[in-house]
Structure 1
Amino acid sequence: MKQESGVGNADAVALDDKRWFFDFRIKGMSKFNDNSVVKLAVTRLFYPLPLISSLLILIVMLGIAAAPLSIADDELARTFALANFALVPIYFIVRWVLIRLHYGSKLAQQCIVSRDKLILPGSAIINKPKGEYVIEREHIKRAKVIYKSRHARAFGVRNHIVGIEFILQSGEKVYLDALYFPLKQLFYMLLFFDYPVRTAHGQYSFKSLLAIVFTAFPVLASMVICAAVVESFL
């Protein structure tokens, strides 16, 4: 879990506060009212795959990237090596298919926020079974918004949300990671509907950093090998 360096009152955060809501837009936000039901898309690009699947993808990609070295015909090997740069889009397509198979594809991947409840896509990411996971507003003791501040010379302070932890009246905690959920938009809607929210300084979780590494490493490693193989034929 993130290390906190202080907790603040989110009442001090205005909906037009550029420290929080820079480069920000939600479709139809100018027409939001107390009866609005807002749907926020969830991206699954960085969803973790089982270790065996990740290792298999890595081995296959590295094997294909190095395969031209075993081809005797230099012209054919060079063509094969250049074609291997297409591994990047192929990798993301394969990963997308595997994620859909592992996490399910029937449920719409979105967060739904209204005045009365919050609906999340259930999965192992939040330790909930597949399907809609509903949190009634009255069951939320508070939502803790964890953020990291950065200073940009041109724009001043920018607060980047790294996680939101919902602490329920029952004592249960549900943590949403910025790598998997649209937390800036969700924070905006929680403020808009006046949910009990607090803010706290924190850091990106180790799991998030690990997920990024596991996602990016096969691409970087295969591209390095492809570049080295192509250079060897020049």
Structure 2
Amino acid sequence: MSLAKHTLDLSLTDKVWFKYVSLKNKNELTDKSEVSLNSIAALGMLSGRAEFLFALLVFALAITASVVDGAYPRYIAFPACLFAFLIIFFTKRVMLYKKFGFGSQWVMDVSKEQLTISPQAIKGRASGTQKIARENISEVVFHYLLLKDKKSGKLKTTANLCFAEILLKDGTKVELNGTRIGFFDLLYLMVFFDYPLVYRNTSAGGSSDIAIILLRLLSLSAIAASLAKLALN
């Protein structure tokens, strides 16, 4: 794994990199196109502490469901645990809606001349929507990992984009929020518009987001297994 910055000669038809691009009318792009990117609603995240707290509550509920299994009748234990989980789930949903709004929201415009970025798409605090002229960009850095999976006797490689930042010629850095922007869509557009791109083969910068997603999956798997056991026993 090379942590040093390097360039890659990517083709827009490369399935390793652009298999999951979801841009509409991508085959109709021209040099004069301006493309709006919307947020990925399912990946909206609260602060690290809040995410950890909610995951901890779900884990605690999963343990509780296992403890009460057999100690109380199913018609009492299962509805009680399910109701408790729904309270946790919808409380978190409300907090996410307050932070990001309902559903998918506009986060970025990309054209050959400039980038227009919503504060939601920027890591850390942003004073407002930022417009960055292409001529002011020194480079755009994408951190990636190449994941290999052997299925049906064939080795398949898939790229995973972990982090992206825009480096300006005045030394300013703009770190992009990968839980709001679809990095594959953004990379596709930047390759098409020939932005100055460099890459680093590392998960650095996006590891915290990956950890939160894994924590979510583990906690949801735990409560799903516990509720299923309660319902079926």
List runs of 5+ in structure 1 lacking aligned partners: none
Aligned partners of 1:148 and 1:202 also within 8 Å:
yes
Residue in 1 that maps onto 2:94: 97
1:49 alignment partner, one of 31, 41, 46: 46
Q: Confirm whether residue 147 of structure 1 aligns to residue 137 of structure 2.
A: no
Change (3 A) 1:52 1:33: closer
Residue in 2 that maps onto 1:40: 37
Q: Secondary structure of 1:20's match?
A: helix
Give the deviation of 1:183 after TM superposition.
0.8
Change (3 A) 1:140 1:17: same
Aligned partners of 1:40 and 1:111 also within 8 Å:
yes
In structure 1, distance between residues paired with 2:74 and 2:3 = 60
Residue in 2 that maps onto 1:8: 6
Give the deviation of 1:171 after TM superposition.
0.9
Change (3 A) 1:212 1:226: same
Give the deviation of 1:133 after TM superposition.
2.7
Moved more, 13-22 or 28-37: 13-22
Change (3 A) 1:145 1:61: closer
For residues 154-211 of structure 1, the C-alpha deviation after alignment (integer angstroms, 9 at most, x for no partner) is 4643322222221111212122354442111101101111111112211253312332
Aligned partners of 1:9 and 1:199 also within 8 Å:
yes
TM-score w.r.t. length of structure 2: 0.76
For residues 21-60 of structure 1, the C-alpha deviation after alignment (integer angstroms, 9 at most, x for no partner) is 2243410112111111111222143433243575267538
Residue in 1 that maps onto 2:164: 164
Residue in 2 that maps onto 1:116: 113
Residue in 1 that maps onto 2:75: 76
**Which residue identity does 2:212 align to in structure 1?**
A
Q: Secondary structure of 1:129's match?
A: coil
Number of equivalent positions? 227
Change (3 A) 1:84 1:66: same
Residue in 2 that maps onto 1:134: 131
Identical residues among aligned pairs (%): 22
For residues 119-156 of structure 1, the C-alpha deviation after alignment (integer angstroms, 9 at most, x for no partner) is 22214851233642322212210011221112345464
Give the deviation of 1:98 after TM superposition.
0.8
Aligned partners of 2:21 and 2:188 also within 8 Å:
no
In structure 2, distance between residues paired with 1:156 and 1:129 = 39
Q: Secondary structure of 1:203's match?
A: coil
List runs of 5+ in structure 2 lacking aligned partners: none
In structure 2, distance between residues paired with 1:150 and 1:171 = 32
